[in-house]
Amino acid sequence: MTRLHIPVRLRWSDLDAYGHVNNVEMFRLLEEARITAFWRHPEAQDDPWPTAVLESGPQASSHTLVARQEIEYLRPLGYARDPITVQMWIGHIGGASLEVCYEVFDAVRPESAQSASPEPRKPCARATTTIVLVDAVTQSPRRITTLERAAWEPYVEAPAVLRRRGA
């Protein structure tokens, strides 16, 4: 069971009038985590994540479409300067699409971190995104390559379990 732990920084403007990260901005944070994890940026200085095998930029031969998203908000996420952690894994790899799963955790306070807490922390949100790989020229879905599959398979885990609708 291997998950990526991706730090994402909040911005003050992510907060709404109640002082919590707005429900729409939460999807922005997931987008940031996804871009960090999957795209290799020629101009980025840091070591890319092992899953970052998609090329970005105007010359890229493929891009991604978001086909579906689902989220449940479990606890409000407040402001912190330290980055939050988006735990990310892959719930399913299909022929031309993959399901990305996330659990969003707020920044750990030092005092909480020191306490010998026997219980695991609870996420603020749980979510999934289905992304489709699209050929940049034909604009049609294209098959996931062997290279991509090899890079992503170590991060396949059971899909996130969200509450049923209406429940």
Q: Please report, as ranges, the residues that interact with its own copies according to CB under 8 A.
A: 9, 11-13, 15-19, 22-24, 27-28, 31-32, 35-36, 41, 43-46, 57-58, 63, 65-73, 78-82, 91-92, 94, 99, 107, 109-110, 128, 130, 159, 162-163, 165-166
Query: Which of residues 24 and 147 has its CB atom nearest to its own copies in the complex?
Result: 24
Per the DSSP assignment, residues forming a β-bridge with 129 are 69, 100
In whole angstroms, the minimum distance from the beta carbon of 72 to its own copies comes to 5
Query: Which of residues 44 and 150 has its CB atom nearest to its own copies in the complex?
Result: 44
Per the DSSP assignment, residues forming a β-bridge with 92 are 99
Q: What does the DSSP assignment read for 38-96?
A: HEE-TT--SPPPTT--EE-STT-SEEEEEEEEEEEE-S-----SSPEEEEEEEEEE-SS
- Give the H/E segment covering residue 31: helix 23-38
Q: How many other β-carbons are positioned within 10 Å of the β-carbon of residue 129?
A: 23
Joined together, the tokens standing for residue 86 give 């988006």
